Amino acid sequence: MTKKFKAAIIGSGNIGTDLMIKILRTAKHLEMGAFVGIDPASDGLARAERMGVPITAEGIDGLLAMPNWNEIEFIFDATSAKAHVSNYEKISKFPGKKVIDLTPAAIGSFLVPPVNFNELQDVPNVNMVTCGGQATIPMIAAVSRVAKVHYGEIVASIASKSAGPGTRANIDEFTETTAHAIEKVGGATKGKAIIVLNPAEPPLVMRDTVFTLSEMADKQAIVESINLMVAEVQKYVPGYQLHQEVQFEEITAENPVFIEGLGKVHGLKTMVLLQVRGAGHYLPEYAGNLDIMTSAALATAERMAETMIESSSK
C-alpha cells in the first residue's frame, strides 16, 4: 500500500477548494486531514463536509485545536499574504510540518517545481510565488540555461471572473513577488511583472507573454530548452502550452534598449507566448491562473512526500 501523509488546507475559497478536490481525486501520497476556513457558510467548507473531510470555520486556531493536528504533516495556505504571516508564526512552533504557501507573502523560499525543487525539498516553508510566476518563470529559466538573461518581463492576462477578492487585494504583492522571483529563480538580472484582468465575455483562458533580453546565443538551443521545460510543466499542468512559436529579435550594440536599473543593453530578445487551460476539477477551465497554482502546490508536496518515503526506506 502506498504511504499517505495527511494534509491540511487553510483557506476555503476557490483555490483551497480546487486543491482539496485535486488531493481527493489525484494525489498519490497525500490525503485530506483538515479543511480550514473562517466563513461557516462558505461553499468550500460545505463541500468538504459532504466529502467527509474534517473541517473547522475557526481559522488557524481551529486547525491547531483539531484532534488530528499532530498527524498532519503538510499544510497548504491558500488565504492571503497578510494572513499567511500570522498563520506561519503559529505553525512554526510545531517542528516537522511542511508548509506550502500559495499566497504572495514570500516569507518562505520561492519554489517553481521544474526549476528549483531539488534545492528546496527540505525547506519547512516554500512559497509558490504567483500564478504568473508559476507560468512564466520556467520559460525565463529555460533561456537562462542557454544564455545569461539581463532582463525578464512577463505579462499575465487572466479572466476577470477568475480573479477573486484575494487576487484583487494582492495585486501589488503579485507584481513585486513575481518580479523578485524572476530574478531569484528565473535567473534574470532584472525582472518586471504586469498583470491584466481581462473582462472579455465569454472569459478567456490565461495567456502569458514572456520577454527576455539575454546575451547572444544559439536560437535553436533556446527553443529546445524551452520545449523541454514546457514538457516538464505539462507533467502536472496538462493544459500548459506554447500559444505560438518562439520569436527572436537581435538588439544590436549600435541600437541598444534602455532598461531602468540596467541602462543601455543589447543582445538577443526572446518572446514566448503561453496559454494555460485549467483541468476543470472545481474551477472552470478558463481559470488556468488558479489551476496552475494548485497544480504546482500539489506537485511540490507529492515530490516532497516521495523524498520522505525514499529517505525512510534507506
Hunting for cell 507584481 — which residue is that? Answer: 175
Round to whole Å and give the CA distance between 81 and 263. 33
Which DSSP letter does residue 143 get?
H
Distance, CA of 80 to CA of 58 (rounded, Å): 16
Q: Of 108, 154, 160, 161, nearest to 135 (Cα)?
A: 154
DSSP 201: S
- Clarify whether 131 is annotated catalytic: yes
Cβ-Cβ contacts under 8 Å for 301 (sequence gap 6 or more): 7, 29, 30, 74, 76, 98, 100
| Run of H or E including 120 | helix 113-120
The answer to whether 7 and 310 are in contact (CB under 8 A) is no
Query: What strands lie across the sheet with 5-10, from one edge to the other?
Result: 55-56, 30-36, 5-10, 72-77, 98-101, 125-127, 109-110
Task: Give residue 164's Cα distance to chain centre.
Answer: 16
* Alpha-carbon distances of 220 from 135, 210, 283, rounded to whole Å: 22, 17, 37
Phi then psi dihedrals of residue 215, to 5 deg = -65, 155
Residue 96: DSSP 8-state: T
Q: Which of 30, 72, 78, 131 is catalytic?
A: 131
Strand 98-101 to 257-259 pairing:
unpaired
Structural contact between residues 177 and 106, judged by C-beta atoms closer than 8 angstroms? yes
Q: What is the rounded distance in angstroms from the CA atom of residue 245 to the CA atom of residue 93?
A: 49
Q: Which residues are catalytic?
A: 131
